[in-house]
Chains A and B, each alone.
Chain A
């Protein structure tokens, strides 16, 4: 230990060596739960799995529109209910086997299998009878709407037309796995096998797993069997479990990382002030909001909920507490979700807020009962809660207590609706208003507010899916969202942003709404630095 040789191996940092050798050093947030696409959930897992595997279609990192992956093309039937994927002839597993339609049928059976315990099984629910099979109501997988017409043709039948279905093909829960490899290490539905370990795993993506050191690093090398290997310009990627964002920023400063998963709020102004700043901030498909328990007085009165929402000065909150790093939100769906612009039915309006509260029977806050706002323990949540508490006090003259809860306790409180007001965030799984609006279906598992409206349900479940055009569909969604915001079971606060430090040598990594990483496009250019236009 005390052998203090020349620091950092001759002074060359990871970034310098990486630029020379074409190796990207990537801060990935945390140690992944695992690498089995049908078992794990989470953002770090997503980055790793989508580097190792490839779906039928892949999101273009610039536009987020799906482009060919394992499938070289696909057709959607006239009524929107049958999707036929044509697999490319040169799609290969890392052991040289071809990727076939039968493997997709096998993999989707695994992903949906009731014994599997796949938390993301619902990603495939648009497929006919998939939900019945996953919940054990249907035993015969043959009745589920997925068929291999031949080794290179996969036909999928959907319950309803699902415009975002192709997008879901880039979600890892819909990926194919190599059946022989899985069965060589255990049962099909076994969660505890070793098939994803370095010497065992067989994958079909642009990179192959080379090393997996627990809590230390995961190293990948460029795949030689990948069909589009000519386009892959990186020779490898090293993923680091950078749990602590303060340490991660220090690693970046010391040249140990090309890319950080996040940036501490108080560091934002410092990096923004720099010329040729490595800081990249972009709108993110997620909303930060407060859930309101509409079953508890006084919050069961819509006028109270609106008063609370209108009293919040989101602009000030974003600029001060959040250092200008977020965008004020007035709806549940983030603006610009593939062309969707949510309706704006209310504003920051202290006068109207006071009037509404008086109408509800609490003029100038008189007679206001005890109400509590809960949030999961985290400094940023606390700061926002304190600011909002003060705004409610100043504008409405009411006292609301705030309390923090440890993460799992908080989850328990939210799911059992044991709260008055609760902090909540929602990150989209796919780019479509449906992903946000279907949360508030009557009795939905993520509703947690008591909001229930049959007209709203009808709009989301029946009328929007059958819309003839994207315009009509979005109009119906806007109608539904306006209804939701009129009832205000949630108080939107801000739209998330993604915040990264990206070394200027990293190219081909555009910022996008899903913070979606496609390593196939990335390269390192130490000589010609990135212009900031590139990441906008």
Chain B
């Protein structure tokens, strides 16, 4: 098991290095630069700015200097927000985005998981079609539609919940979490239904039923563990996706998270911020994929055995 983890971590290094390199050169190819603005910039001013940000050096030298700083954990100063470092901006946005992502995942697993399991128990009946149709709607409904709809109903008409903010007013975290989690809940519902259906047809389930176990014990004790493997495998990438993809929800609800910085950085040609967030998020994605692989292995006896023998 340790060897498996160590190997995967080693494999991650060239992946992340490739991400850095490609991003670094790609953002420079994009037309326009961080200091272009609607009003013409005086050449001397632009030159001074480029000196302050090391943009006057040859590109390759900038690249090696960036890698050097990165090795020390320094992501550099932001172009858009002078006086703030990229580290600081990520540190400010990450806790919020992570919290939002976690709640959204919770919403997704609770709603999606129970709907999927519920549907799988009576396949091809109303009990199956109804939640699956809802899931289909959930997948098709974009967050930029669902968010404002929820706000309209629960925020403006019923006045039950705040329409924006994060942690300012009690209850303001509810709507963003549901909005972000809804699409993932739908995926999880479909995944868990499929996983459960496959397991419920297996021989060992038939054996359990033949032993005369009550149906709930068959489901909870025997089927669930195997049936949810696809869901667990999905959770890692899903959480990484939630972190990287919360931009829309953060904008709708005025949430001070990382997603807004990430997208705006690209529009602003904030080179260091684009690089910093990309490197950071790709590292997270690699780690979460690894974590969900390990978890899936632990849940799946066949794989576990494989690791056990290679120890």
Chain A interface (Cβ < 8 Å from any Cβ of B): 1-9, 31, 33-34, 36, 39-41, 114-119, 121-122, 134-136, 191-194, 196, 213-216, 240-244, 246-247, 250-251, 253-254, 256, 406-413, 415, 425, 444-446
B 60-96 to A, binary, CB cutoff 8 A, 1 in contact else 0? 0000000000000000010011111100010011000
Q: Tell me whether B92 and A256 are in contact (CB under 8 A).
A: no
| Contacts known (A192-B82, A251-B164); A407 close to B267, Cβ less than 8 A | yes
Chain B residues contacting A114 (CB-CB under 8 Å) are 44, 48
Pick the residue among B36, B39, B81, B171 that contacts A446 (CB under 8 A).
B39
Chain A residues contacting B46 (CB-CB under 8 Å) are 117
Q: Tell me whether A115 and B48 are in contact (CB under 8 A).
A: yes
22 contacts between A and B (CB under 8 A): A3-B170, A7-B160, A7-B162, A7-B169, A8-B162, A116-B48, A117-B48, A119-B37, A136-B44, A191-B83, A193-B83, A194-B83, A215-B261, A243-B254, A244-B254, A253-B156, A254-B164, A256-B164, A408-B30, A408-B33, A411-B37, A445-B42
Pick the residue among B82, B170, B251, B267 that contacts A244 (CB under 8 A).
B251
Q: Is B38 close to A, CB under 8 A?
A: yes
Least CB separation from A136: chain B residue: B44
Q: Tell me whether A408 and B81 are in contact (CB under 8 A).
A: no
Pick the residue among B32, B48, B257 that contacts A409 (CB under 8 A).
B32
Q: Tell me whether A1 and B31 are in contact (CB under 8 A).
A: no
Pick the residue among B85, B92, B177, B268 that contacts A215 (CB under 8 A).
B92
Pick the residue among B80, B103, B251 that contacts A33 (CB under 8 A).
B80
Q: Which of B40, B103, B148 has the most CB of A within 10 A?
A: B40
Least CB separation from B257: chain A residue: A215
The docked-state distance in angstroms from the alpha carbon of A179 to that of B59 is 36
Q: Tell me whether B83 and A122 are in contact (CB under 8 A).
A: no
| Contacts known (A7-B160, A115-B48, A192-B83); A250 close to B155, Cβ less than 8 A | yes
Could you tell me which residues of chain B, from 172 to 193, have a CB within 8 Å of some CB in chain A? Answer: 173-174, 177
Chain B interface (Cβ < 8 Å from any Cβ of A): 30-33, 35-42, 44-46, 48-49, 51-52, 77, 80-85, 89, 92-93, 103, 148, 151, 155-156, 159-166, 168-171, 173-174, 177, 251-254, 256-257, 260-261, 267-269
The docked-state distance in angstroms from the alpha carbon of A389 to that of B232 is 53
Known contacts A122-B42, A247-B252, A251-B163, then 9 further A-B pairs from the complex at CB < 8 Å, ordered by chain A residue: A4-B161, A7-B161, A8-B162, A119-B45, A407-B267, A410-B32, A411-B32, A412-B36, A445-B42
Separation in Å of the A330 CB from the closest CB of chain B?
Answer: 23
Least CB separation from A3: chain B residue: B170
Separation in Å of the A431 CB from the closest CB of chain B?
Answer: 17
Q: Tell me whether B177 and A1 are in contact (CB under 8 A).
A: yes
Chain A residues contacting B38 (CB-CB under 8 Å) are 411, 425
Chain A residues contacting B148 (CB-CB under 8 Å) are 246, 250
Chain B residues contacting A410 (CB-CB under 8 Å) are 32
Separation in Å of the B65 CB from the closest CB of chain A?
Answer: 16
Chain A residues contacting B269 (CB-CB under 8 Å) are 408
Chain B residues contacting A407 (CB-CB under 8 Å) are 32, 267
Least CB separation from B255: chain A residue: A215
Chain A residues contacting B267 (CB-CB under 8 Å) are 406-408
Chain A residues contacting B173 (CB-CB under 8 Å) are 1
The docked-state distance in angstroms from the alpha carbon of A250 to that of B253 is 10
Chain A residues contacting B42 (CB-CB under 8 Å) are 119, 121-122, 134-135, 445
Chain A residues contacting B168 (CB-CB under 8 Å) are 216
Pick the residue among B31, B49, B165 that contacts A408 (CB under 8 A).
B31
Separation in Å of the B138 CB from the closest CB of chain A?
Answer: 20
Q: Tell me whether A9 and B254 are in contact (CB under 8 A).
A: no
Chain A residues contacting B37 (CB-CB under 8 Å) are 41, 119, 411
The docked-state distance in angstroms from the alpha carbon of A31 to that of B84 is 13
The docked-state distance in angstroms from the alpha carbon of A225 to that of B170 is 36
Chain B residues contacting A122 (CB-CB under 8 Å) are 42
Q: Tell me whether A412 and B169 are in contact (CB under 8 A).
A: no
Q: Tell me whether A214 and B256 are in contact (CB under 8 A).
A: yes
The docked-state distance in angstroms from the alpha carbon of A453 to that of B151 is 56
Chain B residues contacting A444 (CB-CB under 8 Å) are 40
Pick the residue among A3, A243, A408 that contacts B251 (CB under 8 A).
A243
Q: Which of A9, A34, A408, A410 has the most CB of B within 10 A?
A: A408
| Contacts known (A254-B163, A415-B40, A446-B40); A244 close to B31, Cβ less than 8 A | no
Pick the residue among B81, B156, B252 that contacts A34 (CB under 8 A).
B81
Least CB separation from A196: chain B residue: B83
Chain A residues contacting B174 (CB-CB under 8 Å) are 1-2, 4
Q: Which of B35, B46, B254 has the most CB of A within 10 A?
A: B254
Q: Tell me whether A214 and B164 are in contact (CB under 8 A).
A: no
The docked-state distance in angstroms from the alpha carbon of A216 to that of B93 is 10
Separation in Å of the A112 CB from the closest CB of chain B?
Answer: 10
The docked-state distance in angstroms from the alpha carbon of A135 to that of B103 is 53
Separation in Å of the A307 CB from the closest CB of chain B?
Answer: 28
Chain B residues contacting A425 (CB-CB under 8 Å) are 38
The docked-state distance in angstroms from the alpha carbon of A240 to that of B260 is 15
Least CB separation from A240: chain B residue: B254
The docked-state distance in angstroms from the alpha carbon of A36 to that of B83 is 9
The docked-state distance in angstroms from the alpha carbon of A363 to that of B15 is 61
Separation in Å of the A52 CB from the closest CB of chain B?
Answer: 15
Q: Tell me whether B103 and A1 are in contact (CB under 8 A).
A: yes
